[in-house]
Structure formats: C-alpha cells, structure tokens
Amino acid sequence: MDQAASLRRLVLEKKTEGSSGTRSIVITSGKGGVGKTSLSVSLSIALAQDGKSVTLVDADLGLANINVILGIIPKYNLYHVIKGKKKLKDIIIDVPEGIRIIAGASGFHQLANLEQKQRDEFISSMSELGNDDYLIIDTGAGISQNVISFIMAADEVIVVTTPEPTAITDAYGIIKAIASQGNDKQIRLIVNRVQSVAEGRRVAQRVINIAGQFLNIKVEELGFVYEDMYVPKSVRNQKPFIVSYPKSKASGCVKVIADRISNKDPELQKGSGLGSFIRNLIGSSNLDGDDQKKA
Ligand SMILES: Nc1ncnc2c1ncn2[C@@H]1O[C@H](COP(=O)(O)OP(=O)(O)O)[C@@H](O)[C@H]1O
Ligand SMILES: [Mg+2]
C-alpha cells in the first residue's frame, strides 16, 4: 500500500473514532535563539497548572533541548521512533512538572532533513499520542520542510520573535512561508525579551501591519514576555522558570499567555482533534492531485 493510501486509511479510522478535541499548537520562529524552547516548556507547564493535560513534543529535529531544560536524560527519543525502533507512545515521559514530553534527539543531521515519507509517517504517528487537551510542538527555527509540515498539520501556530530587527525580519519570513502554503491557519505572535509593555506592543504591531499589508494575512498579538534574568538562570539550573521562579516577570507573562490560549473564543477552544492533524498533513503533502482531492 502506498503512503498516501495508508495515511488516508488512518484518517478514516480517526474519523470514525470521532475527534479527540486535542488542540495542536506549533511554536516556531524565523530566527533561532529567540526563546521558543524556554517558552514552550513553561507555557506547557502553566497550562497543566491550570488543570489541562498537555503533551509537549520536541520537534526541533536535530537540535533537541526540552529534556535539557527539564534536567532529564531520556532513555529513548525521537531518533528511535524515526529509525523505527520504538513507537511514539512508548517514549512518552511523564515529568514531575505535570506534563508529558516526547524527547527529541540532538546531533542527527538525518533528523533535521527527513525525507517526505519519513516526515509524513512521523507526523501521522502523532495520533498515537492520545486525548490530551493540548499537543504543544516546539520546532526548530527557520523555513525547513520539517517545520512547514508541522505547521500545516497543526490547528494553530505561535510565532516567537524578539525586538531585534533580525528576529522581526525573520518572523516576517516564516509568516510569509506559512501564507504561501495558501491556508488560513491562525497565526499568533509572542514578542519575547521585551523591556516594556510599549516595546512589546510596538514590535507586535509592526509584524501585524507588514503581514497585513504585504501578505494580506491576519496575525494576532498573543502576548509578550519580559527580558528576565531568571530565564537563563533556570536554563542553567535545568529547572523551568515557571516552577523555580513562579513570581518572576517572565512567569507572570507566560501565565497571562496560557490564560489567553485557554480562554479564547469558545468556538476555537475545542481543538479539531488529532484526526485533523493528519488530515491537514495530507493536505500539505506532495501527493498527486487525485490523492489531494480524496484527502
Ligand atoms: N525572556 C527572556 N529573558 C532572558 N533570556 C531569555 C528569555 N527567553 C529566552 N532567553 C534566553 O535565550 C536563550 C535561547 O532560548 P531558547 O529557548 O533555547 O531559544 P530557541 O528555542 O528559540 O532557540 C536561552 O539562553 C534563554 O535563557
Ligand atoms: Mg529551541
């Protein structure tokens, strides 16, 4: 059976099971080092502290570090899954912070440049992850086919930038890449490492305006996070800042963002489920035209 056919079958199976209601959210950026991983981890924990069930996937295929931020050394990681040695559901780790994680693998060039077939298999295997309220996917920076595929498969995408002009330009670049895929994915923006509320607003407005003007695409401001020395300090201590410094400025901002994510428009609050993650994936694959129509 060809890949497209097996994916279609998976989708049909999922459809008959009904939608799980899981909201899948990809966290990405144009420029690297803007704080995606630090924010993904603390944001996932903030959602869990709010009573939600969360699985966090380290999909920075090639340069993983969620486990480093959490101070754990997983026995198995995505390398074993992509090599076919383990199933995704077998490598889920429950961490004391109250979330479940899928650890990534570092230093494997092959992971950073998956073939289409491997990528599709991997993304579709995410349906094994069960019925959590949230599936948060931390990606690598930049416009790779891996990242674009994750974005296209998910319900929502959060783009992280900092006030640096290079980060803003690259945020625009990734938004443009998403827009060029021609779907109306909801794109929201977090401005990290700001010195003031005004700075956060200014940067967000700039991105929103240029995306609206040049790409005719709507980007929403999700929030900002202050520049805060407790963030790097927590990375060094390998304990997420929301746990070790819950009263820090960065933690306060992340809690506001978590509230916004869970209290948004009730229509959008219910995720479309992991079945749709796969349907979206198929829609974005390079299948032949006939397959695309059927999918
Ligand atoms: N709000 C912040 N204040 C201060 N430093 C931050 C903040 N957010 C991230 N950093 C620092 O930036 C660096 C890169 O963060 P990381 O989360 O690894 O980025 P990415 O995943 O986007 O590559 C880390 O050393 C982290 O401590
Ligand atoms: Mg990262």
Sign of the dihedral defined by the CA atoms of residues 211, 217, 223, 228, in that order: negative
Question: Which amino acid does the sequence have at 133?
Answer: D
Highest mean pLDDT among 11-20, 75-84, 158-167: 158-167
Task: Give the distance, in angstroms, between the CA of residue 221 and the centroid of all CA atoms in the same chain.
Answer: 17
Domains along the chain with CATH numbers:
20-284 (3.40.50.300)
Higher pLDDT, 161 or 8: 161
How far is 160 from 283, CA to CA, in rounded Å?
25
Give the 3-state secondary structure of residue 193: strand
174-180, long-range: CB < 8 A, 24+ apart: 174/28, 174/29, 174/30, 174/142, 174/143, 174/147, 175/207, 175/211, 175/215, 175/217, 175/219, 176/214, 176/215, 177/143, 177/148, 178/148, 178/151, 178/217, 179/211, 179/215, 179/216, 179/217
Q: What is the pLDDT of residue 2?
A: 54
Would the pTM of this model clear 0.95, i.e. be above it? no
240 lines ligand 1 (CB under 6 A): no
Distances (CA, A) of 235 to 108, 133, 238, 253: 23, 26, 5, 17
CB 139 within 8 A of CB 26: yes
How far is 132 from 134, CA to CA, in rounded Å?
5
Highest mean pLDDT among 7-11, 154-158, 196-200: 196-200
Q: What is the pLDDT of residues 61-83, one digit of tens each?
A: 778 799 999 999 999 998 898 88
164 lines ligand 1 (CB under 6 A): no
Among 8, 38, 11, which Cα is nearest to 276's? Answer: 11
What is the CA(149)–ligand 1 centre distance, in A? 24
Mutate which of 231, 241, 242 for ligand 1 pocket (most atoms within 8 A of beta carbon): 231
42 lines ligand 1 (CB under 6 A): no
Helix (H) / strand (E) element for 173: namely: helix 165-180
34 lines ligand 1 (CB under 6 A): yes
* Poorest-pLDDT segment among 78-92, 96-110, 258-272: 258-272
Ligand 1 atom with minimal separation from the 34 CA:
22
Strands 219-226 vs 23-29: parallel, antiparallel or unpaired? unpaired
Residue 4: band (very low, low, confident or very high) from pLDDT cuts 50, 70, 90? low
How far is 280 from 105, CA to CA, in rounded Å?
25
Ligand 1 atom with minimal separation from the 192 CA:
1
Query: Measured over all CA atoms, what is the biggest interatomic distance in the chain, rounded to whole angstroms?
Result: 56
- pLDDT over 80 at 280, yes or no: no
235 lines ligand 1 (CB under 6 A): yes
162 lines ligand 1 (CB under 6 A): no
What is the CA(4)–ligand 1 centre distance, in A? 38
- pLDDT over 70 at 10, yes or no: no
Among 193, 187, 139, which Cα is nearest to 162's? Answer: 193
The mean pLDDT of the chain is 85
Strands 134-141 vs 219-226: parallel, antiparallel or unpaired? unpaired
Among 147, 139, 153, which Cα is nearest to 22's? Answer: 153
What is the CA(234)–ligand 1 centre distance, in A? 10
How far is 72 from 115, CA to CA, in rounded Å?
29
